[in-house]
Amino acid sequence: MSFANSHEIITNQTGVHEHLVEIVEKHLKHPFQKPIHPRSLEGFKAVEQQVSQLGKPVIFDSCCGVGDSTVNLAKLHPEHFVIGMDKSGHRLNKNECYEQHDVDNFMLLRTDLNDFWRLAVEAQMLPEKHYILYPNPWPKSKHVQRRWHGAAVFPSIIALGGELEMRSNWQLYLQEFAVALEVAGKQGVVEQFEPEQAITPFERKYQASGQALFKLKAAL
Ligand SMILES: C[S@@+](CC[C@H](N)C(=O)[O-])C[C@H]1O[C@@H](n2cnc3c(N)ncnc32)[C@H](O)[C@@H]1O
């Protein structure tokens, strides 16, 4: 990732995706049936065991990338156990904070969130706070179902509950997420913000490039 030259999102959409509401309604009606990968189940069981041993409330840092935000959130919330999750082993292995951090109330897990979130709902291992920071935007209209609110797993994000915070440099992504929440009978508030200190590499890069940043908050 090069620094301070990040491009703003380019999309062929002019507003909220024209089929978003029907896509969300379909996913709310029909449970996501894709079989859970055995590796996801194994990873989940290990996390579940650790969480039940610790007995602390949990925070999910979904799509944590290299996990810098996971360490930062662990520092901010010493009474919680923070679980940073990403499907990219390559990114997770780049976490340099491991050696430097002075907190131990976190873990990083390589997993596919399409599986992990469903497993967590099923086991009722629910986060008090859920962060999804700078998810892949998938700005092309035809890729709307790759965005989390257009994905079949969206109902599980809602069922996880807790205080959800998403951040993005693409306001429309969060506006669409808020529309999807509304379809599910929930409410999300989107606003522009300026972080005092960036807590993820993507946030740092967008900030250095002078891009506007947005957050969505929802009490689920
Ligand atoms: C744009 S990066 C943001 C990373 C980090 N939050 C940051 O701000 O620096 C999006 C991340 O989402 C992860 N991701 C995308 N789909 C995923 C999935 N199905 N399960 C787990 N991680 C996923 C990618 O591997 C990538 O690291």
What does the pLDDT read at residue 194? Answer: 95
**Residue whose C-alpha is closest to residue 199's, from 151, 167, 175:** 167
With left for phi above 0 and alpha for psi between -120 and 50, is residue 42 left, alpha or beta? alpha
Residue pair 189/178 in contact (Cβ under 8 Å)? The answer is: yes
Answer whether 114 contacts ligand 1 (Cβ < 6 A).
yes
Answer whether 92 contacts ligand 1 (Cβ < 6 A).
no
Question: What does DSSP say about strands 189-193 and 213-219: parallel, antiparallel, or unpaired?
Answer: antiparallel
Q: Which domains does the chain carry?
A: 20-219 (3.40.50.150)
The atom number, within ligand 1, closest to the CA of 88 reads 25
Answer whether 202 contacts ligand 1 (Cβ < 6 A).
yes
Answer whether 134 contacts ligand 1 (Cβ < 6 A).
yes
Answer whether 136 contacts ligand 1 (Cβ < 6 A).
yes
Tens of pLDDT, residue by residue, the chain (220 residues): 556 677 788 888 889 999 999 999 999 999 899 999 999 999 999 999 999 999 999 999 999 999 999 999 999 999 999 999 999 877 777 766 555 668 889 999 999 999 999 999 999 999 999 999 999 999 999 999 999 999 999 999 999 999 999 999 999 999 999 999 999 999 999 999 999 999 999 999 999 999 999 999 999 9
**What is the 141 CA–ligand 1 centroid distance (Å)?**
20
**Residue whose C-alpha is closest to residue 132's, from 94, 105, 158, 99:** 158
Query: How far is 157 from 164, CA to CA, in rounded Å?
Result: 9
Token pair belonging to 5: 């030259």
Sign of the dihedral through C-alpha 42, 47, 50, 55: negative
Residue pair 47/83 in contact (Cβ under 8 Å)? The answer is: yes
**Angle 113-123/38-54 helices, nearest 10 degrees?**
50
Query: How far is 179 from 16, CA to CA, in rounded Å?
Result: 8
What does the pLDDT read at residue 151? Answer: 98
**3-state SS track over 19-48:** CHHHHHHHHHHCCCCCCCCHHHHHHHHHHH
Other Cβ atoms less than 10 A from the Cβ of 191: the count is 10
Count of alpha carbons within 13 angstroms of residue 83, beta-carbon side: 29
Q: Which residue among 63, 70, 109, 117 has the greatest number of ligand 1 atoms within 8 angstroms of its CB, and so is best to mutate?
A: 63
Sorted by sequence, the CB contacts under 8 Å of residue 60 that are 6+ apart come out as: 82, 83, 85, 120, 127, 129, 130, 131, 160, 162
Answer whether 133 contacts ligand 1 (Cβ < 6 A).
yes
